[in-house]
A and B are shown apart, each in its own frame.
Chain A
Amino acid sequence: MVGLLGLATLASVALLFLILAYVVIQGLPALNLDFFTQRPKPFGEVGGGVQPAILGTLLLAAISGVIAIPVGIAAAIFVVEYRSGRFATPVRFAAELIAGLPSIVVGVFVWALLVRGLVGHYAGIAGAVALAVIMVPIVARTVEEVLKLVPGSLREAALALGAPKWKVILRIVLPTARAGIITAAVLALARSAGETAPLLLTALGNEFFSTDLLRPIDALPLRIYRYAVSPYDDWHTKAWGASLILVAVIAIFSLVLRLATRRGQR
């Protein structure tokens, strides 16, 4: 039995390392300074990089995070701290449903709402909104679990000191759960940074660097997709390079997370 479990563990860890090693081996040849600082070049020209995609991914992550993290935390607070209320269960159920939606469906929805609707064309902001829709339930569900871990005895102690409920939440519950909330936020960011399908229908991608949120914006997953489906070897190598950078971006998120939460412990 133990042997079987060990084998399964070994297989899953080995698989992870295999993928990582393959991405590194295939991606490294593409990496050089230009790859980070140059715009993509048209086919036929040598060189060029994925700078717009890197910056686009960071920009999309920042905007979707600013939208989704507060909303997700607020929903979690509502569900956990006001659970006797009539709306807690419907809110939790809705979060579960949205979390279960395939991301392409979210993409189609935002496409209909913003790309065809309010904005009128493909735009970075539509991509950020799509990523935010994907992040909200992830943040809400994870933060919910984290808030549940805050001992009720601390809430009681604060209430008994004569603090109103909102202050108990703001000054006692959230600071106690701080490390877990940061974890939830970063996990959601990392997840959304890798999303491709909804961006295809919203942010679209861009050969040029653009910070104009009302214009199409490039992102690493879009760049990987575009290069990977092309018939050209040079672009395939660039797709691997972009993959390596995407993995690195997510790894950096986790690293920052580790540092931030370690400082939280006294």
Chain B
Amino acid sequence: MMSTMETPRGAPTATRPVGPAKGETAVLIEDLSAWYGPTQAVGGVSLELPRGAVTAIIGPSGCGKSTLLRCINRMHETTPGARVAGQVFLDSLDIYWSGVDAVEVRSMVGMVFQKPNPFPMMSIYENVAAGPRLRGWKMDRKKMDELVERNLRRAALWDEVKDRLDRSGAALSGGQQQRLCIARALATDPSVLLMDEPASALDPIATYKIEELVRELASEVTIVIVTHNMQQASRVSQRTAFMLAADDGVGRLVEFGRTDDIFTNPRDSRTEAYITGRFG
């Protein structure tokens, strides 16, 4: 497996279909539908996520927002029986084209999960180094030290853990564990960072730190964050997508636009009903 260090990110080769790439678009989703076995979770979603911005996907439970997120790095297909139709372009790479390996797609994208999941048998240091090591990057100790420090700093965790890098990541508090997971996801320099309700298992102070971090990181990496917390979406994002499951249980995109517009002047009455707290 070639690492992103050796290949220009997402460089299309001659044999690969090249998407309608625009420099400003990091992720392009076209008519995407997703199923779990016979159950359809997402229906016909098209989205254009701008580069270097935070996009929030909001909506009530079961609206397919997490499933949509997991389709962006092909994690959806790790669920037995899961299936996808439609297209997703990362930069210009058509990630569902038959010649593209899921491992390659995932190495372009970082992911942070709802529950902090540091590797319990690894130290703090090893957790951050896990991505490069799992991908077989050849690095000497000094380079790896630098990489670990740089990414712990990016995740605003360095000052809290620099004296105990060899301790287990599982010994940290919930908020610290989640920032460790962010450092781990950043360590392989993804162009896109997916966050699946990253603060929903955390207390308000830890949540605040994660939100601050998301805002800071937005200048370096394109972030897509799923949340059911509307205040959080309005605080951290520049773009917001609102999804809703119809009566048939299929989650569809209701409205997508600038976060300010969605929250102050929604075009769709269902968006307005949701953000004013009338359901969900």
Q: Is the CB of B131 within 8 A of A162?
A: yes
Not counting A154-B117, A160-B73, A178-B121, a sample of 18 additional A-B residue pairs whose C-beta atoms are within 8 angstroms of each other reads: A84-B80, A153-B117, A156-B78, A157-B181, A157-B184, A158-B119, A159-B78, A160-B110, A160-B185, A161-B110, A162-B107, A162-B108, A162-B131, A162-B134, A163-B134, A171-B133, A176-B119, A266-B123
Q: Is the CB of A161 within 8 A of B117?
A: no
Q: Which residues of A contact B (CB under 8 A)?
A: 83-84, 151, 153-154, 156-164, 167-168, 171-172, 175-176, 178, 264, 266
Bound CA–CA A126/B115 (angstroms): 51
Q: A84-B80, A156-B117, A176-B119 are in contact. Are A161 and B1 (CB under 8 A)?
A: no
Q: Is the CB of A160 within 8 A of B1?
A: no
Q: For B121, what are the chain A residues with a Cβ–Cβ distance below 8 Å?
A: 175-176, 178, 264, 266
List 15 interface pairs A-B (beta carbons < 8 Å), by A numbering: A84-B80, A153-B115, A154-B119, A154-B120, A157-B117, A159-B106, A160-B73, A160-B75, A160-B111, A162-B103, A162-B106, A162-B188, A163-B103, A176-B119, A266-B123
Q: For A159, what are the chain B residues with a Cβ–Cβ distance below 8 Å?
A: 75, 78, 106
Interface size on B, residues (CB 8 A): 32
Bound CA–CA A264/B134 (angstroms): 21
Q: For B134, what are the chain A residues with a Cβ–Cβ distance below 8 Å?
A: 158, 161-163, 167-168, 171-172
Bound CA–CA A154/B121 (angstroms): 11
- Return the chain A residue nearest B135 by Cβ: A162
Residue of B109, B130, B188 near A158 (CB, 8 A) is B130
- Return the chain B residue nearest A174 by Cβ: B121
Q: Does B168 interact with chain A (Cβ within 8 Å)?
A: yes
Q: Which residues of B contact A (CB under 8 A)?
A: 1, 73, 75, 78, 80-81, 103-104, 106-111, 113, 115, 117, 119-121, 123, 130-131, 133-135, 167-168, 181, 184-185, 188
Q: Is the CB of A161 within 8 A of B188?
A: yes
Give the 5 A-B CB pairs with smallest separation, nearest first: A162-B107, A163-B134, A160-B111, A153-B117, A84-B80
Q: A160-B73, A164-B103 are in contact. Are A172 and B131 (CB under 8 A)?
A: no
Q: Is the CB of B106 within 8 A of A161?
A: yes
Q: For B108, what are the chain A residues with a Cβ–Cβ distance below 8 Å?
A: 162
Q: For B120, what are the chain A residues with a Cβ–Cβ distance below 8 Å?
A: 154, 176
- Return the chain B residue nearest A150 by Cβ: B120
Q: Write the nearest CB–CB distance from B147 to chain A, whole angstroms.
A: 14
Of A164, A168, A171, A175, the most chain B CB neighbours within 10 A belong to A164
- Return the chain B residue nearest A171 by Cβ: B134
Q: Write the nearest CB–CB distance from A250 to chain B, whole angstroms.
A: 28
Q: For B168, what are the chain A residues with a Cβ–Cβ distance below 8 Å?
A: 266
Q: Is the CB of B131 within 8 A of A161?
A: yes
Q: Write the nearest CB–CB distance from A167 to chain B, whole angstroms.
A: 6
Residue of A151, A161, A172 near B135 (CB, 8 A) is A161
Q: For B181, what are the chain A residues with a Cβ–Cβ distance below 8 Å?
A: 157
Bound CA–CA A178/B117 (angstroms): 18
Q: Write the nearest CB–CB distance from A86 to chain B, whole angstroms.
A: 12
Q: Is the CB of A151 within 8 A of B188?
A: no
Bound CA–CA A257/B108 (angstroms): 42
- Return the chain A residue nearest B109 by Cβ: A160
Bound CA–CA A156/B109 (angstroms): 13
Q: Write the nearest CB–CB distance from B90 to chain A, whole angstroms.
A: 13
Bound CA–CA A252/B13 (angstroms): 60
Q: Write the nearest CB–CB distance from B258 to chain A, whole angstroms.
A: 29
Q: Write the nearest CB–CB distance from A88 to chain B, whole angstroms.
A: 11
- Return the chain B residue nearest A178 by Cβ: B121
Q: For B78, what are the chain A residues with a Cβ–Cβ distance below 8 Å?
A: 156, 159
Q: For B106, what are the chain A residues with a Cβ–Cβ distance below 8 Å?
A: 159-162
- Return the chain A residue nearest B117 by Cβ: A153
Of B103, B120, B121, B131, the most chain A CB neighbours within 10 A belong to B121
Q: Is the CB of A161 within 8 A of B184?
A: yes
Bound CA–CA A224/B21 (angstroms): 78
Q: For B107, what are the chain A residues with a Cβ–Cβ distance below 8 Å?
A: 161-162
Bound CA–CA A156/B78 (angstroms): 8
Q: Is the CB of B185 within 8 A of A161?
A: yes
- Return the chain B residue nearest A177 by Cβ: B121
Q: Write the nearest CB–CB distance from B165 to chain A, whole angstroms.
A: 13
Bound CA–CA A171/B110 (angstroms): 19
Of A153, A157, A161, A178, the most chain B CB neighbours within 10 A belong to A161
Q: Write the nearest CB–CB distance from B54 to chain A, whole angstroms.
A: 19
Q: Write the nearest CB–CB distance from B8 to chain A, whole angstroms.
A: 16
Bound CA–CA A175/B131 (angstroms): 16
Q: For B103, what are the chain A residues with a Cβ–Cβ distance below 8 Å?
A: 162-164
Q: For B110, what are the chain A residues with a Cβ–Cβ distance below 8 Å?
A: 160-161
Q: For A158, what are the chain B residues with a Cβ–Cβ distance below 8 Å?
A: 119, 130, 134
